[in-house]
Amino acid sequence: MSEIEFLSWVRGPGFQIATIIFVAGIIIRLGEILLLGRKTNLAEAKGSEMRSGMRTIASRMLPPDMETFKRSTFTITAGYIFHIGLFVTIFLFAPHILLIRDIIGFGWPSLPTQIVDAIAVVSIIALLAILVHRMTDKVLRHLSGPQDYIVWFVTIAPLLTGYLAFHRLVGSPVTMLALHILSVELLMVLFPFTKLMHTFTLFLARWYNGAISGYRGVES
């Protein structure tokens, strides 16, 4: 397979397969969660489930109380950096917006390339630091299994390959671009079946947390 053929495969059939698995997988996962259902609370309510649930969805996006922040400073800071970094590089990078416009028919303004570039570098550094933290912190070592490292790899791979492809740093630019697209497809295929699903399920989890707590009159 030539590098052009490789590129057209990852852009064509490869992308279609990955998209089908990604979308179908997410629907299956959300379905198997929501179909389980949940019993209605029969205790006299002290607060609204819906309001508290929605509130917690938003509040857990914000930094926690000082004590919690002090105790988990690295995790929280590095977490914010790479999540914001991923969001910016995926959704505010001009070539990505062009691709999205191609697929769904509309786009939005991009950030200047230099800014996205800098953010990508910061995100890569944050993810490397997160890996070192996971491998050295005793709680994280205790919690971590192969999936945690696989997920780390498929998250950093698109950032790295994208950066290398854009700057034409290593090898042929065409192969690098093909590898970049392939790494995204790998991410998409693993997404529904790993902890990457938290991207969607955290809205459910936070809602339930807020609902359980808010029903009893406590903001969580």
* Contact call for residue 209 and other proteins (CB under 8 A): yes
* Contact call for residue 139 and other proteins (CB under 8 A): yes
Q: How long is the chain?
A: 220
- Strand runs labelled E in the chain: none
The interface with other proteins within residues 68-87 (CB under 8 A) comprises 68, 71-72, 75-76, 79
- 134 touches 141 (CB < 8 A): yes
- 123 touches 78 (CB < 8 A): no
Task: Kindly calculate the radius of gyration of the chain based on its CA atoms and give it in whole angstroms.
Answer: 20
101 vs 216, which CB is nearer to other proteins? Answer: 216
Binding mask 25-54 for other proteins (x = CB under 8 A): ---xx--xxxxxxxx-xxxx-xx-------
Contacts of 115 (CB under 8 A, 6+ apart): 88
* Contact call for residue 3 and other proteins (CB under 8 A): no
Identity of residue 167: H
Work out how close the CB of 40 gets to other proteins at its nearest, in angstroms, rounded to a whole number: 9
Contacts of 21 (CB under 8 A, 6+ apart): 188, 189, 192
Separation CA 190–CA 193 (nearest Å): 6
2 vs 39, which CB is nearer to other proteins? Answer: 39
13 vs 217, which CB is nearer to other proteins? Answer: 217
* Contact call for residue 217 and other proteins (CB under 8 A): yes
- 209 touches 187 (CB < 8 A): no
Work out how close the CB of 216 gets to other proteins at its nearest, in angstroms, rounded to a whole number: 4
Q: Which one of residues 60, 95, 110, 150 is an interface residue with other proteins (CB under 8 A)?
A: 60
Separation CA 17–CA 19 (nearest Å): 5
Q: What values do phi and psi take at 29, rounded to 5? A: -65, -45
The residue range among 14-22, 65-73, 108-116, 173-181 that interacts with other proteins, by the rule CB under 8 A, is: 65-73
Binding residues with other proteins: total (CB under 8 A): 58
Kindly list the residues in this chain that would bind other proteins in the complex (CB under 8 A).
Answer: 28-29, 32-39, 41-44, 46-47, 56-57, 60, 64-65, 67-68, 71-72, 75-76, 79, 137-144, 148, 193, 195, 197-198, 201-202, 204-210, 212-213, 215-220
